[in-house]
Amino acid sequence: MDLFPQNVSSADLPTVEIDTAEVPMVSEKEVLEAADKIVGNKAPGLDSIPNKALKAAVKIAPNMFAEAFTTCLKEGVFPTQWKKQKLILVPKPNKPLGEASSYRPICLLNNTGKLFERVIYNRLIRIAEKDGGLSENQFGFRKGRSTTDALVLVANTAKTALDEGKFCAVITLDVKNAFNSARWSKMLESLMNLGVAKYLVRIVADFLIDRTLCCESDEGMKSYQTTCGVPQGSVLRPLLWIIMYNGILTLDLPTGVASIGLADDIGVTVVARLLEEAELYANEAVYEIKSWLENAGVQLAEHKTEVVLITKRRKCTSMKIKVGTQTIYSKPALKYLGVMIDQRLNFRLHVEGAATKAYNIGALVARMLPNIGGPRPSRRLLISRVVSSILLYAAPVWADALENTIKKIGTAYRISILRTCCAYRTIFNEAACVIAGMIPIEILAKEIQRLYDRTYLTGESPARRRQFARAETVAEWQEKRDESEKGRWTHKIIWDIRKWIERPHGEVGFDLTQFLNGHGGYRAYLYRFGRDDSPYCPQCANIPEDAEHVFFHCPRFETQRATLEATTGEHFTPENIMELMVKAKGIWTEVEKVITAIGKKLGQEEVIRKNERERNTNVDMSAE
């Protein structure tokens, strides 16, 4: 069981003596609050009690659970039955099956025990999050602290160093099997250093010891005793981990050195005026962190350490650090928390990498979303958001660098736009974004950056901040759309973007999209690409057959127009059709029916003309 190494015995843990009279009673309110956090469809442990049944029992008799949990706290006992874990090993893709690291362990615990854990967790978190508790540089498993926050801290540190003409080294450290290897004694020590009440330290100690992993094998059910690590699948696991890991973030490191924690990831920033100082400080910091980890029973994967030296110096500059027996040289860039940080801090490599990944996924998605048929537009939009989520990951960190890389990232985004609105590749981006209701990627990135700024609309609720930010985004989009000379037919119809994207009804299918952007079966469009011998309407001399002429003026479709106006009671023009369609669902439906019928008729006429051209060609060839 390499995934769950042996470390120390429970006899090595400190004994905690308490006065039972000082243990606060568990109230019914605490139990009910804990039960509200239980997810109903989670798999049960060995007791096979589903969460839905447990929540129902708590609702009926919260006092029974409160009394039982109070007794456990007073006696310092976490029941053994609640510490049994059902182990399931899930193979990782493309990994050799003979290695322990090729499997992802999933441990299922009894839900009643997890309910008790939640009660303990709620008491511990109040202590951990008070002033003077957890480090400001701890971003993992904490409310209001995200991966983006950690990345912004690193990026801002580097930017400040560059502005001051200093070097900034960013170091990432990889920890081996961290969660399953940490010493229990180190966890309890960290709890006491944080000022946690003794009764909570004692119950956590009992929660950790005598834990049993149960797994099925060819020889039947086998049991395995764990002696270290934070219990996988438990409610307390993330909190105990960050409390223990807090020791790394509070180490006395050299001036200009800071450590950043997120789950088991460790990042180190080193700022110094001279390269020699940066190397010296980096080596000292890594040595201190490595020593602390070893004392906690955790080992660094030394060869996986990476360093990037961020500097404005034009001359190629590098540094090296010593990690145990390994000498690590700085690289042009490294990946930290999913973002490529390069030595110029321009994030070009990250944006290009994200664009390539999004483009490949977008191409796969495109195969599932043909222009004609397939999912309806609302489903297409949902699927397309996979691409935008990849492109916009950690946008507040690199959004300022987007201007220099917008072409590549825009290409990846364009695929999802086309498939959302069922458009041809010949459509202008300006028109496609509006029809699909998808904000241009560069404007959307700015909105995310604006919302991330804590000073933006201070004092307003999150909902109001999002509302104001979106209003600014749409206003910027509208301004750029008004100034653009591309896709003017679409602009003539959809002249108010806000009204279009905030409409309460109506989905855009293939035929409607072709009408809105003037592409498709119209002769003026077909002629541009050599698919017809004339751009003119076959009935109206010297008048191009485009979307405006066909729908609003051509006598061939007078019957359809008259029927539409009689049915809806409205007179349609290019300037009012969008407003009338979004005003009432019935009008939208009737307009779409007429557009579809016209599109079908145009398609039939195109086939007839094509066949006629082919016959004429064959006659000419025969005559020769």
Lowest mean pLDDT among 187-191, 494-498, 518-522, 611-615: 611-615
What's residue 62's pLDDT?
95
What's residue 12's pLDDT?
64
Buried b / exposed e over 97-134, threshold 16 CB at 10 Å, is eeeeeebebebbbbbbbbbbbbbbbebbbebbeeeebb
What's residue 100's pLDDT?
64
Closest CA to 496 of 580, 587, 578: 578
What's residue 57's pLDDT?
94
Residues in contact with 519: Cβ distance below 8 Å, sequence separation at least 6, in sequence order? 423, 424, 426, 427, 525
Whole-prediction pTM: 0.86
Question: Where does the pLDDT of residue 624 fall: very low under 50, low under 70, confident under 90, or very high at 90 and above?
Answer: low
Selected residue with higher pLDDT from 100 and 152: 152
pLDDT digit string, tens, across residues 385-437: 888 899 999 999 998 877 666 777 888 899 889 988 889 999 999 999 999 99
- Check whether 602 has a pLDDT greater than 90: yes
- Mean pLDDT value across residues 265-277: 96
What's residue 8's pLDDT?
53
Q: What percent of the chain has pLDDT over 70?
A: 94
Averaged pLDDT of the chain: 90
Provide φ and ψ at 130, rounded to 5°: -75, 165
Greatest alpha-carbon pair distance for the chain in Å reads 112
DSSP output for 418-439 = HHHHT--TTS-HHHHHHHHT--
What's residue 49's pLDDT?
87
| Residue 415 near residue 387 (C-beta atoms within 8 A) | yes
What whole-number distance in Å separates Cα of residue 607 and Cα of residue 596? 17
What's residue 313's pLDDT?
83
- Check whether 47 has a pLDDT greater than 90: no
What's residue 178's pLDDT?
86
Closest CA to 477 of 449, 503, 444: 444
- Check whether 10 has a pLDDT greater than 70: no
What's residue 9's pLDDT?
47
Domain ranges of the chain: 28-310, 348-502, 520-622
| Residue 345 near residue 163 (C-beta atoms within 8 A) | no
pLDDT digit string, tens, across residues 132-172: 899 999 998 999 899 999 999 999 999 999 999 999 999 99
Q: Pull the structure tokens for residue 402.
A: 């987007």
Q: Is 412 helix (H, G, I), strand (E, B) or coil?
A: helix
Closest CA to 59 of 29, 86, 21: 29
What whole-number distance in Å separates Cα of residue 497 and Cα of residue 479? 10
What whole-number distance in Å separates Cα of residue 549 and Cα of residue 489? 12
What whole-number distance in Å separates Cα of residue 483 and Cα of residue 476? 11
What whole-number distance in Å separates Cα of residue 416 and Cα of residue 365? 8
- Mean pLDDT value across residues 235-243: 95
Residues in contact with 222: Cβ distance below 8 Å, sequence separation at least 6, in sequence order? 214, 215, 216
- Mean pLDDT value across residues 582-601: 96
Lowest mean pLDDT among 44-53, 77-86, 368-377: 368-377
